[in-house]
């Protein structure tokens, strides 16, 4: 049996209606009520999140924004891209807006923090590259190791849905679900040190290692050389 009472109050400078609920059994439940979402857990504790009219005006505004601005070059978005558009939303409310947009099919999650506008198809074979570029936009990264060698035709049997990069950031593998995996491997080298062996790939939006640099990275990272075609490497140098 439910017992509840409601009253009006001011939240973030605006009047919204909200409710406090008590529950008499151990069944979890959730309900949206005029600006606050109350989640009743199995332990009978109440957790709540501000909605700030996310379910209506926020979704409409985001839909209009995406329809107006998204294109073949700009089809990936991060939380930081949306924050300036919704300055009135708290971080928690913005997170809820994005979550609701995913549920409504307005956004398609690629990996944690990166979302795709599903009405646009990504350029063939480039989604992982573009995602890597966006994930670490402020970090020195370049395509290397197996991916660079595979693209140069000197290594065989490289998984298509796997992208390997050297990065000034920490090492780690990022799962992008059906799209594949991005592997970052840390390097302490600077762009100035590696400049002669790097070329910018505009389609990928990333720097790319020469075969010589990719081979040096393979050795320094102790990667398997079993699939490397030595003759092809010599011809490319």
The CATH number for 103's domain is: 1.10.10.10
In a domain, 215, yes or no: yes
In a domain, 169, yes or no: yes
In a domain, 19, yes or no: yes
Q: Return the pLDDT at 20.
A: 36
Is 217 found in the same domain as 136?
Answer: yes
Is 205 found in the same domain as 226?
Answer: yes
In a domain, 122, yes or no: no
Report whether 3 contacts 20 (CB < 8 A): no
Total tally of structural domains belonging to the chain? 3
Q: What is the pTM of this model?
A: 0.75
Is 81 found in the same domain as 142?
Answer: no
Is 24 found in the same domain as 107?
Answer: no
Tokens of 138: 């402020």
Is 160 found in the same domain as 143?
Answer: yes
In a domain, 125, yes or no: no
In eight-state DSSP terms, residue 45 is: -
Q: Return the pLDDT at 37.
A: 45
Is 170 found in the same domain as 93?
Answer: no
Q: Return the pLDDT at 212.
A: 96
Is 227 found in the same domain as 145?
Answer: yes
Cα gap 30→37, rounded to integer Å: 7
Is 209 found in the same domain as 171?
Answer: yes
| Domain end position, chosen among 93, 116, 139 | 116
List, as one string, the DSSP characters of 100-158. Answer: HHHHTTS-EEEETTEEE-TTSPPPTT-HHHHHHHHHTTTS-EEE-HHHHHHHTT-B---
In a domain, 183, yes or no: yes
Is 71 found in the same domain as 18?
Answer: no
* Residues 6 or more apart in contact with residue 218 via CB below 8 angstroms: 145, 146, 149, 225, 228
* Residues 6 or more apart in contact with residue 222 via CB below 8 angstroms: none
Mean pLDDT per 10-residue segment, the chain (237 residues): 38 42 36 41 43 62 91 92 88 90 95 95 92 96 97 83 97 96 97 97 97 97 90 73
Q: Return the pLDDT at 21.
A: 36
Which residues partner with 108 through β-bridges? 116
Is 150 found in the same domain as 79?
Answer: no
Alpha-carbon torsion angle 96, 102, 105, 109, nearest 10? 160
Is 213 found in the same domain as 145?
Answer: yes
Cα gap 83→62, rounded to integer Å: 11
Is 190 found in the same domain as 107?
Answer: no
- Residue 71 is part of which domain span? 54-116
* Residues 6 or more apart in contact with residue 17 via CB below 8 angstroms: 6, 8, 33, 34, 35
Report whether 61 contacts 68 (CB < 8 A): no
In a domain, 121, yes or no: no
In a domain, 123, yes or no: no
């Amino acid at each position: 049996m439910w017992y509840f009472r409601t009253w009006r109050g001011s939240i973030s400078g605006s009047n919204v209606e909200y409710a406090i609920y008590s529950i008499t059994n151990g069944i979890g439940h959730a309900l949206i009520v005029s600006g606050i979402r109350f989640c009743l857990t199995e332990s009978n504790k109440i957790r709540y999140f501000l909605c700030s009219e996310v379910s209506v005006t926020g979704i409409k505004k985001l839909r209009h924004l995406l329809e107006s601005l998204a294109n073949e070059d700009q089809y990936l978005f991060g939380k930081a891209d949306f924050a300036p558009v919704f300055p009135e939303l708290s971080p928690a409310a913005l997170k809820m807006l994005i979550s609701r947009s995913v549920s409504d099919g307005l956004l398609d999650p690629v990996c944690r923090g990166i979302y795709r506008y599903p009405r646009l198809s990504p350029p063939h074979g480039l989604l992982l590259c573009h995602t890597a570029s966006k994930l670490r936009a402020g970090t020195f990264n370049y395509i290397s190791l197996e991916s660079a060698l595979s693209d140069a035709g000197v290594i065989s049997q490289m998984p298509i849905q796997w992208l390997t990069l050297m990065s000034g950031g920490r090492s780690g593998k990022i799962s992008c679900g059906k799209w594949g995996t991005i592997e970052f491997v840390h390097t302490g080298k600077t762009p100035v040190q590696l400049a002669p062996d790097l070329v910018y790939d505009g389609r990928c939006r990333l720097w790319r290692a020469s075969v010589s640099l990719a081979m040096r990275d393979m050795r320094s990272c102790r990667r398997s050389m079993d699939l490397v075609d030595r003759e092809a490497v010599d011809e490319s140098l």
